[in-house]
Structure 1
Amino acid sequence: MTSQLIKITKKLYKQNFYQAILSALWLIFPLEFVAVTFHIIYEICFHRNGILEVILNLHTNLPGFYVISYLLKSTNDLTFITISLLLAFFTAENLFELRSKLSHEHLAGITSLFIYFLLIVETAPSLDFPQITEVAGNLLIPIVIGLLTGYGYSLLAKNSHIKLTVSYWATNRLIIIFSLLIVLIGAISFIVYQTQLFPNYLSQQLQNLIQVGNRPSFWKIILATFLSNIGHFFGVINDFTTTIGNHFSSGTVNLAYLADHHNLWKIPYPITLHSLYDSYGALGGNGMLLALAGTILMRVKNQRARLVAGLSFTQTLFDQGEALMIGIPILFNPLFLIPFLVAPIVSMSIGYLAIVVHLVPASAYVIPYATPSILRAFLGTNGNFGALFISLLSLVISGLIYYPFVSLIDQLTAKKEDDPHA
């Protein structure tokens, strides 16, 4: 299987569109790393339910708390919007250059950025930063826009009877831009409309199916996790599992029972999204990325992969794996699809068995935001060391699941470690 996976991945790496995506992801990695770092600081210290805010009561004890919080949140939102815009820009630039080998004064990138900016403004419920950031969080859309824009410009260049020199592009850029905008905005608007209509409709139907009854079953939690991770793998950042979890009353019932009886072993609903997915299936974020980062650091020799994993390791401790997904990359990478989907399911199965056979109580207590993921089950069970052991066991087994796939990185990047297309 590994030899076939290597062949498929190598063939994909040779495609111009995939090289354009990989180069764009690598170019935005530094900014993504900074943005995620700001986001973690905000979640820990300045979110009303952040772990240090809860422990130290920072909103009372820290002078200028609300001003700092507003500035940090605004900067964070603006950075994430900039990342999406640059992703559209670089993808279009890279694809045009790979296909046409021509100088074009950045027209493809500017056109792609402009189209994407118009679309996120049009599709955002309002023009404030949080709403625009939520729309811009879908990384698949700027990539698609960049690919179509870059392809359109390269097709125009190849089919033109006039030699496309720098002066030609300079004197005719307005005609080219507006002609492409008419076609591309119409086409992309249709695509965006479809991506918001049909997946949202499908998502709602799946939520209705999963949310039948007062509590989620083990298989419903597995299905929700599987769908959420598929979306993340293809750049559709979503809160599918969180949305589903918020619609069940089981968590509230458990907390009410604990308030009266203080007995975790006899809570009415031990199997919930919180007790399985949050506690054991999302250590490091979607895909058990904490295990992946650790495995890369222990196994891989490729310097770029080690650099990304080293920088992202602390972030994955706080469930923020976006920089890791972009820097390796994991996004759209067939090398990691199987372990990215399998590792969380295996980890949740371990947690499920431990709860069912009463090795550990179910995690039911509410955990503050940005609590290190490895401690969530421990704190959610009021300090049960068995739950901490199951978390560590899940992490180790997830690392073993990733190991054979991580071992292939050096084979794919042996020729040129610092090649952005590698």
Structure 2
Amino acid sequence: MLALEERFMIREMYRKGVSISEIARRTGRDRKTIRQAVNAPDLSPPKPPRQVKVCKIDPYVPYLEQRMAEGVLNARKLYAEILAQGYPGKESKVREFVHDRRPEKDPIGSTRFETAPGEQGQVDWGYFGFITHHGRTCRLYAFVLTLGWSRASYVRFTTSSDTTWFIRCHLHAFAYLGGVPKRLLYDNLKSVVERRDADGTIHWNPRFLDFADVAGFSPQACKPYRPQTKGKVENGVKYVRGNFWPGVHFQDLEDLNNQALAWLNTTANPRVHGTTGEVPFTRLRSEGLQDASKAFTYDTSVMITRRSSKDCVISYEGNLYSVPAAHARKTLQVNITEAGELVVCSEVGQELARHRVLQGRGERSVQAEHYQGLGLPTPRQERTSAIQELLPTTPSPFWDAPVVEVRPLAVYDQLLWKVHDERSSL
């Protein structure tokens, strides 16, 4: 290959009128080489086409783009997914890929407030659309509790955000985290704050305040319209929404909560936290939470009253449940436990019956011993529309008709002729 200077000299001699043969004789080059140098459009030879460098992440680009289109913008989550598919590269390449394609956000300034170990936790709800639960379309909520010092978090999905389930989720969080913080910070939720007066006086939800007293923590409400006051749990909800939720597939609510628990144990709490620079599970050992044993004694049952019918049943959410015959036509107390049991009690609190809560509509849960002593035939089992798991052979409160003797039609014909003859003789 001719050097740049030699090509310039050849082209310069040709411009001065020296023939190609003479240039070849002077330079010792072949005439074809001289002719190529003279006829080339540019002094520099054409560069060979640059080979595109194959990156390790290239085979996974379609998958990453698809997941980002689904809303998965967390690079660590995407890295874990393609790593399971055989990706041999580093996480930094995935971060670069996501960073180049992630929509930019406007910067928001804030002041960080840190608390001492065991001093504070922050609680909030997150809304996650709808779910089909027991054949019904329900709203889906995520309860999130984040400890202020260790940043250890707990999440549980529910189909209700009322006070009862709010308290139940607290108990699940205390069991998971191993104790109760001294203070818990909340937004102005109806399950916590019933109302605020103009002077700022807070009127707490009575049942929740009773629960806080039993559990041994002080509730604290944020000022209205200041969500940054509980920024730790706000970030916790965003973390659930951005890291766990995108692309998750589940069969039912139980399956979703099992996946959320696995995510807490393998991703959320074992990671190095971006603010503390430490692992939340590691710091949790030094959190120094209060003992939660007293909190677990709190009764989280849904408490309602029902009047039993003369058929010895009460109604709850479109289904019927039997009660002892001695308590027919009486006002009874009904407790619905988190485990899905319906407990019927007398006015003084004595337990009378216990059923499994039915999930459908128009069904009956009947226990045979509730009808003993009535002097009536045994209920027919084939009329039972729902049978308790603990009582698989329990009959329903519908009685058989009286037994009728079956006779041939000729008997009735003879009877009619006999009546006719008697009337004729008169």
Please indicate the TM-score interval, normalised by the length of the shorter structure. Answer: under 0.3
Q: Comparing both structures, which one devotes a greater share of its residues to strand?
A: 2
Normalising by the residue count of structure 2, what TM-score does the alignment of the two structures yield? 0.22
Normalising by structure 1, we get a TM-score of: 0.23
Structure number with bigger Rg: 2
